[in-house]
Amino acid sequence: MFMGEFNHSIDMKGRLILPAKFREELGETFVITRGLDQCLFVYPNDEWKRLEEKLKSLPFTKKDARAFTRFFFSGASVCELDKQGRASISMGLRDYAHLQKECTIIGVSTRIEIWDQETWASYFRQSEASFSDISESLLDLDI
């Protein structure tokens, strides 16, 4: 399980150090793709395969299903860490998530999210204000 929040810098070549505690769980190769809320999602291969199966079961006759599947898979790339524990993030993914220099990497159970540090701080401030309301609505889901 991935959890925690870490800050690292992305270099000019698009390489980002992933936290040491995440590296072992990711394995030798993993998948990075566009996430929601203008961040990147990082999945270990086994979790990616589970997600792929779920997405493949969506009805392709539904416009929203086709759009989401295109969005999700077209940005995906298989990555591996270099000897310094860095992942190379493509220019397209960096542009999508507005990754400049400072990044925040968070563990979200079965995936990792990579955020531009300012975008994460803004998102967190906005979400923090409504956290109580959000938690109340999730109680209906037996969480």
> Strand 77-80's sheet: what is its strand order?
2-9, 102-109, 111-116, 40-44, 29-34, 77-80
pLDDT attached to residue 129? 75
- Calculate the CA 85 to chain-centre distance: 17
pLDDT attached to residue 130? 80
What is the pTM for the complete model shown? 0.92
pLDDT values of the chain reduced to their tens digit, one per residue, 143 residues:
999 999 999 999 999 999 999 999 999 999 999 999 999 999 999 999 999 999 999 998 999 999 999 999 999 999 999 999 999 999 999 999 999 999 999 999 999 999 999 999 999 998 887 877 777 777 666 65
Domain ranges of the chain: 2-139
Distances (CA, A) of 134 to 91, 126, 138, 139, 143: 34, 12, 6, 9, 12
CATH number of 2-139: 3.40.1550.20
End-to-end CA distance of the chain: 18
Who contacts 86 (Cβ-Cβ below 8 Å, separation ≥6)? 11, 15, 16, 17, 18
pLDDT attached to residue 134? 72
pLDDT attached to residue 40? 98
